[in-house]
């Protein structure tokens, strides 16, 4: 897009980092936040101040939203004198937050009804990644609009994935959150279990960093991802099921409960009972898919 003034709503730590990147890239910015101190900080970096959402949205072709909750995002967009009322016709709203896919699709329809465009563009990465322009982004919505703003997105995100219609960016962000929470919970239980025998957390993490999990699981899975099924019939699933039973026995001996390990062990025991005993570990993907389709 040609150079023009951009609006930005939400000046928390992540928002401030992204604003700084946009300003350094030469994009004029008008900012708004409920916190006066946050606005002062952004203005000090070179942004212009808006007194309210109406002033921020007026005559803007592009506005970013970076707030902590989906309901706040909806208010910013849909409330009277919000972005849908104040932005120029054809204006593009880019939401950097995370929300349920259905709510996202509802906002996209509301934008269309007002002659605007809504792109869901949730991000993955911490504030230091934002400061150095290394965020990952998952985008859903109107593709021509996405292509227009892509050079601007690249000023703070170097891994941008366009995923199709509205809501698909949110869907993949939620997949990330599921993966992140499950991985973190698994590591947390591993640290707790090892700690019962006196091992420090840094020892556990250093050992895990040299093992398959969590660093290399995707490396193993990617070559199989284009196949119809992940299962290669190598019989490793029953070995992992045996190991999960050993994990639970050790946990009982240590006097500690591991809720995630109990769920995983139960799931794998069920798999053995349902005939997956000669499958390999990556058959867990096929099992999850089959479970989904059986309930469809």
How many domains, in total, are found in the chain? 2
Q: What is the pLDDT of residue 232?
A: 85
H or E element at residue 290 = helix 283-294
Does residue 198 share a domain with residue 147?
Answer: no
Does residue 159 share a domain with residue 92?
Answer: yes
Question: pLDDT tens-digit profile of 79-96?
Answer: 999 999 999 999 999 999
Q: What is residue 7's three-state secondary structure?
A: strand
Does residue 154 share a domain with residue 57?
Answer: yes
Q: Is 249 exposed, middle or buried (0-12, 13-18, 19+ CB in 10 A)?
A: exposed
**Omega of the bond prior to 2 within 30 degrees of 0, cis?**
no
Q: What is residue 61's three-state secondary structure?
A: coil
Does residue 185 share a domain with residue 116?
Answer: no
- The yes-or-no verdict on residue 204 having pLDDT over 60 is yes
Residue 1, in any domain of the structure: no
- The yes-or-no verdict on residue 3 having pLDDT over 80 is no
Of the residues 126, 142, 165, the one at which a domain ends? 165
Question: pLDDT tens-digit profile of 17-56?
Answer: 999 999 999 999 999 999 999 999 999 999 999 999 999 9
Residue 129, in any domain of the structure: yes
Q: Is 37 exposed, middle or buried (0-12, 13-18, 19+ CB in 10 A)?
A: exposed
Query: For residues 93 and 116, what is the distance between their CA atoms, to the nearest angstrom?
Result: 8
Q: What is the CATH number of the domain that holds 221?
A: 1.10.1040.10
Residue 237, in any domain of the structure: yes
Does residue 199 share a domain with residue 100?
Answer: no
Residue 151, in any domain of the structure: yes
pTM metric for this prediction: 0.90
Cα angle 144, 114, 101; round to 5: 65
Does residue 80 share a domain with residue 19?
Answer: yes
Q: What is the CATH number of the domain that holds 40?
A: 3.40.50.720
| Beta strand 117-120 pairing with 62-65 | unpaired
The number of residues making up the chain comes to 296
- The yes-or-no verdict on residue 292 having pLDDT over 80 is no
The domain of 246 spans 172-294
Q: Mean of the per-residue pLDDT values for the chain?
A: 93
Does residue 231 share a domain with residue 159?
Answer: no
Does residue 143 share a domain with residue 24?
Answer: yes
Closest CA to 22 of 154, 128, 144: 154
């Amino acid at each position: 897009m040609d150079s023009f003034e951009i609006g930005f709503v939400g000046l928390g730590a992540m928002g401030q980092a992204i604003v700084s990147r946009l300003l350094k890239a030469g994009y004029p910015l008008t900012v708004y936040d409920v916190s006066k101190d946050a606005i002062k900080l952004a203005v000090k970096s070179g942004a212009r101040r808006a007194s309210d959402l109406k002033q921020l949205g007026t005559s803007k072709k592009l506005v970013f939203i970076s707030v902590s909750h989906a309901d706040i995002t909806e208010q910013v967009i849909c409330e009277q004198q919000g972005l849908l009322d104040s932005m120029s016709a054809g204006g593009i709203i880019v939401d950097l937050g995370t929300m349920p896919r259905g709510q996202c699709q509802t906002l996209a329809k509301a934008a269309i009804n007002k002659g605007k465009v809504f792109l869901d563009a949730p991000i993955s990465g911490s504030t230091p990644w934002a400061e150095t322009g290394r965020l990952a982004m998952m985008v859903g919505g109107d593709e021509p609009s996405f292509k227009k703003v892509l050079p601007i997105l690249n000023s703070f995100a170097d891994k941008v994935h366009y995923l199709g219609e509205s809501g698909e960016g949110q869907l993949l962000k939620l997949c990330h959150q599921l993966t992140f929470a499950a991985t973190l919970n698994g590591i947390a239980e591993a640290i707790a279990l090892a700690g019962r025998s006196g091992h420090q957390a840094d020892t556990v993490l250093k050992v895990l960093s040299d093992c398959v999990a969590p660093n290399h699981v995707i490396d193993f899975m990617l070559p199989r991802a284009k196949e119809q099924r992940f299962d290669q019939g190598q019989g490793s699933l029953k070995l992992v099921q045996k190991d999960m039973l050993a994990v639970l026995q050790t946990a009982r001996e240590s006097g500690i409960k591991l809720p995630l390990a109990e769920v995983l062990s139960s799931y794998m025991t069920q798999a053995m009972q349902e005939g997956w005993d000669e499958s390999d570990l990556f058959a867990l993907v096929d099992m999850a898919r089959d479970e989904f389709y059986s309930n469809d």
